């Protein structure tokens, strides 16, 4: 644990609300190592109104907090925005968490901050050094590129700890990071580059191996198009999904509309009635891009994800994928994805691969410092292949001293990109990593549930990879109590 002694007598545990408001406001203009607190205000419990680029976001039932905004700079020309939400002293659990971003970021992840705040954590988020939307043109300016790549999360963590030290009495006990997609990349980048920043890290559907990942995403967008039209229709997607489910749903002994272990599933495309170009397209989506010799360049998608493939349709590849090459690799706004060659473009990305692609799997320093890592990924993810997380996890275990004791991967059956889908997609990874760090025992299972209109109608356990949740054969098969984690084939 990286305990942080907190200097000063900023506020007592029994302080009244008016005192909290005064002490919170007193943080205004506080100097930080990399910047300044630009706003500090006490906010009463209730609905929290957050203005943003897409209008006002309302977070219902927020607890009372001290809301901090700050501007940070990692070098000349850098401008990193961040927010830190501090629970009332009597509600604080002594812990701190930074939440990650999605896509190209460009805004504070307010929605992701609400849960940790309600659970008693001091919680921070960053815009990663720019304000923007879907495109990556911000990265044409070098400071913004490096801030997005890795510096903003580090500076946000450091600045937040300074503010926490001025606001609370006592000791900051543990610090965590949790994020999915881009947030998963941020998580693993933080572990590799700044091994002392966090005691525990949660990395979901991590956008690591960025050059190959984004090449596969562009490839996916192109392979399914013919003259600007999708080769596969909505009916084709539905037929592929149903035929695969018919072939593999009962592999785990339960007909629940979810493929528990796609690694043991062989899709039946003949049963889907595909032939010709449609058959070739579906096979390519499972296989992924190949090099000139026919060897895989990156992973394809897993059986059970077919129902979400429609999200890959469009007149152009995903902008987050094409802009990786247009801006990050070529630095040329006129570059076009037309005629895209995955093998050549992966080679072109070599110089920036680890800077933005998070390709280093050696986390020995993080584990040596006592850090713990939980990775997770939805098997039905149509955005980032779940095989990417499996491969990276196996690389971590092969390259990092201490990984066997300090890293775990949990695959989520039937979950799409960072959530959604027919599987058990409601779970609490922050509590899992917190419990591991504070109690010393790695999680043997993660409780999970499928929700319908916010109510759990099926519970299940998530198992440490490569184990899978296995039905006992007796009792309610919608109750997690009747499942255990087993190695495949046992």
Quick: pLDDT tens for 304-350: 999 888 767 767 788 899 999 999 999 999 999 988 999 999 999 99
Return the percent helix, strand and coil in the chain, to nearest 5: 35, 25, 40
* 205 burial level (CB within 10 Å; 0-12, 13-18, 19+): buried
| pLDDT higher than 60, residue 15 | no
* Confidence category of residue 85, pLDDT binned at 50, 70, 90: very high
Give residue 138's Cα distance to chain centre.
21
Predicted pLDDT of residue 19: 52
**Arithmetic mean of pLDDT, 290-297:** 95
Q: How many CB atoms lie within 10 A of CB 44?
A: 12
421 contacts 308 by C-beta, under 8 angstroms? yes
Contact 427, 418 (CB under 8 A): no
What would the mean pLDDT of 22-26 be, rounded to a whole number? 84
Three-class SS state of 440: coil
What letters, b where the CB count within 10 A reaches 16 and e where it falls short, cover 446-470? bbbbbeeeeeeebbbbbbbbebbbb
- Taking all residues of the chain, what is their mean pLDDT, rounded to a whole number? 92
Determine the pLDDT at residue 2.
56
Residue 6: the pLDDT is: 38
Query: Which residue has tokens 């775990």?
Result: 408
Q: Which two tokens stand for residue 367?
A: 């584990």
Q: Which domains does the chain have, with CATH numbers?
A: 4-211+355-465 (3.40.50.1820), 226-352 (no CATH)
User: Is pLDDT above 90 for 80?
Assistant: yes
The full DSSP string for 264-286 is G----TTTTT--HHHHHHHHHHH
Residue 22, C-beta contacts closer than 8 angstroms, at least 6 positions apart? none
The pLDDT of residue 276 is above 90: yes
pLDDT score of 167: 95
Contact call for residues 32 and 72 (beta carbons, < 8 A)? yes
Whole-structure pTM value: 0.94
Q: Inform me whether the pLDDT recorded for 54 exceeds 80.
A: no
pLDDT at 132: 87
**pLDDT tens digits, 246-264:** 999 998 889 999 999 999 9
Contact 200, 370 (CB under 8 A): no
- Please write the tens of the pLDDT for every residue from 117-146: 999 999 999 999 999 878 899 999 999 999
For the stretch 172-229, pLDDT in tens is 999 999 999 999 999 999 999 999 999 999 999 999 999 999 999 999 888 877 666 7
Position 354 scores a pLDDT of 85
């Amino acid at each position: 644990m990286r305990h942080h002694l907190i200097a000063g007598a900023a506020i007592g545990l029994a302080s009244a609300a008016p005192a909290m408001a005064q002490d919170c406001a007193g943080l205004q203009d506080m100097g930080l190592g990399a910047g300044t607190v630009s706003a500090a205000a006490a906010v009463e419990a209730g609905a929290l109104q957050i203005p943003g680029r897409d209008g006002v976001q309302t977070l219902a039932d927020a607890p009372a907090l001290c809301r901090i905004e700050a501007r940070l700079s990692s070098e000349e020309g850098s401008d990193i925005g961040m927010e830190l939400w501090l629970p009332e002293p009597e509600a604080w659990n002594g812990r701190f968490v930074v939440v990650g971003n999605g896509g190209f970021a460009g805004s504070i992840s307010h929605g992701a901050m609400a849960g940790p705040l309600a659970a008693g954590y001091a919680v921070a988020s960053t815009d990663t050094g720019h304000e923007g939307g879907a495109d990556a043109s911000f990265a044409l300016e070098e400071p913004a590129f490096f801030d997005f790549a890795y510096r903003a999360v580090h500076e946000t963590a450091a600045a937040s700890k300074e503010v926490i030290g001025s606001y609370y009495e006592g000791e900051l006990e543990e610090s965590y990071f949790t994020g999915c997609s881009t947030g998963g990349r941020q998580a693993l980048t933080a572990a590799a580059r700044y091994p002392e920043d966090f005691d525990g890290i949660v990395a979901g559907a991590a956008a690591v191996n960025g050059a190959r990942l984004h090449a596969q995403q562009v490839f996916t967008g192109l392979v399914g198009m013919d003259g600007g039209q999708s080769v596969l229709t909505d009916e084709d997607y539905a037929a592929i999904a149903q035929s695969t489910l018919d072939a593999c749903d009962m592999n785990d002994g339960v007909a629940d509309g979810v493929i528990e272990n796609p690694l043991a599933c062989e899709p039946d495309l003949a049963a889907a009635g595909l032939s010709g170009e449609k058959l070739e397209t579906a096979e390519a989506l499972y296989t992924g891009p190949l090099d000139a010799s026919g060897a895989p360049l990156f992973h394809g998608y897993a059986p059970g994800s077919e129902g979400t493939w429609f999200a890959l349709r469009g007149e152009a590849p995903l902008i987050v994928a094409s802009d990786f090459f247009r801006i990050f690799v070529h630095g040329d706004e006129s570059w076009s994805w037309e005629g895209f060659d995955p093998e050549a473009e992966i080679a072109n990305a070599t110089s920036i691969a680890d800077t933005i692609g998070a390709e280093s799997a050696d986390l020995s320093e993080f584990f040596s410092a006592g850090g713990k890592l939980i990775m997770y990924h939805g098997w039905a993810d149509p955005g980032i292949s779940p095989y990417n997380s499996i491969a990276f996890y196996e690389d971590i275990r092969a390259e990092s001293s201490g990984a066997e004791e300090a890293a775990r991967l949990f695959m989520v059956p039937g979950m799409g990109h960072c959530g959604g889908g027919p599987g058990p997609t409601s779970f609490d990874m922050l509590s899992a990593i917190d419990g591991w760090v504070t109690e010393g025992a790695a999680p043997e299972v993660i409780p999970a549930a499928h929700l319908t209109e916010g109510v759990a109608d099926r519970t299940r356990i998530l198992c440490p990879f490569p184990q899978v949740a296995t039905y006992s054969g007796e009792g309610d098969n919608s109750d997690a109590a009747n499942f255990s984690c087993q190695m495949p084939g046992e």
